[in-house]
Chains A and B, each alone.
Chain A
Amino acid sequence: MFPNDIKFLVVDDFATMRKIIKKVLNELGYTNIEESDDGKNALPILQAAVSNGQPFGFIISDWNMPGMTGIDLLKACKADANLKNLPFMLVTAESEQKHILEAAKAGVSDYVVKPFNAATLKAKMERIYQRHSTPPAAKAS
């Protein structure tokens, strides 16, 4: 599982959902958490953290946001050489097949549907950890 000092960026336009995600992460032992209220504001935060030598280790982002959606933030991260390997979890109220496929196609690490609890988030994070810590050669074999 991810180490407890990993740095999270939680992106959601609703302060309530940011608080809920932070509370759940705290319950799982993670306390190094920063917030952003939109994808548009999150991208420069992610890029500045790389420049400062203190990059984020995990992004949890809402899908529906007014300035830049979560899926567009994901695509922007994938297009940035410094951010493309960053674990990226999308949070959304949408659980329909077309949305899951769109997120998978864009390269999302995993997907959590609201409402969720700590056990669900933990299970998803464990899966992401396994996927990101497995070398590409091992995945192909």
Chain B
Amino acid sequence: MSAAPKIVPEVNPLFDKKLLQAFVDGALKTLATIAQTEAKVGKPHIETRLSEKCEIAGMVGMVAPPLKGTLLISFTKESIFQIMENMLGEKHTEISNEISDAVGELTNMIYGTAKTALNQMGYNFEMAIPTVIRGEFTLSKSTKGATLVIPFELKNNSAFHIAITVQT
């Protein structure tokens, strides 16, 4: 028998500032260390109806029983091309298999870094394999609950976003 659904605004871990900080730190550390790229963090916000346009994104299921969630890291072409140039010295002008591979690896590293910090705080997230989505598409969420969106901006004014959806 399952417990009654919890009320999102009262108990959802998206309101745990430490969770937010772990993903911000994970993204900043990953980009600075592996790609010598500085990013500026924008104002995080909660969206109850996520509808986001992306060009390429890495997605990973986050499981920390009893929590279930999704981490989505979406890049504009300009942002991922800049990161690729800084990280590997490669100039890209279109979304290719190499870009998809890089987005998968960046998602893996950002999640891995955040997961380690969160598990030290008492969460129990497990490692998972990222999926990469490419092409012009709009993401919409079918589940109840909220999504925490953290915007980032690179020096060339391009943007990427981290979106965390957690169900309790």
Contact = CB atoms under 8 A, between A and B. Distances in A.
Secondary structure dominating the interface of A: loop
Interface in B76-108: 87-89, 98, 101-102, 104-106, 108
Contacts, number: 56
Given A19-B88, A20-B34, A117-B34, 16 more contacts: A14-B101, A14-B104, A16-B102, A16-B104, A16-B106, A64-B127, A93-B108, A93-B109, A93-B112, A94-B112, A96-B116, A113-B112, A114-B34, A115-B29, A115-B34, A117-B33
Nearest to A120: B33
A126 B101 CA distance: 30
A127 interface: no
Interface of B: 29-30, 33-34, 87-89, 98, 101-102, 104-106, 108-109, 111-113, 115-116, 119, 127, 129
Nearest to B30: A115
List of 10 A-B pairs having minimum Cβ-Cβ separation, nearest first: A93-B112, A115-B33, A115-B34, A16-B102, A16-B105, A14-B105, A115-B30, A16-B101, A95-B116, A114-B109
A121 to B, nearest CB: 11
Nearest to B127: A94
Contacts of B104: 14, 16
A115 B109 contact: yes
A16 B88 contact: yes
Contacts of B89: 23
Interface in A93-119: 93-96, 113-117
Contacts of B116: 94-96, 113
B119 A96 contact: yes
A17 interface: yes
A82 to B, nearest CB: 32
A123 B70 CA distance: 35
Interface of A: 14-17, 19-20, 23, 64, 92-96, 113-117
Contacts of A92: 112
A114 B101 contact: no
A117 B30 CA distance: 10
Contacts of A64: 127, 129
A15 B98 contact: yes
A96 B125 CA distance: 11
Contacts of B30: 114-115
A75 B33 CA distance: 30
A94 B127 CA distance: 8
A26 to B, nearest CB: 11
Contacts of A17: 105
Nearest to A64: B127
A112 to B, nearest CB: 11
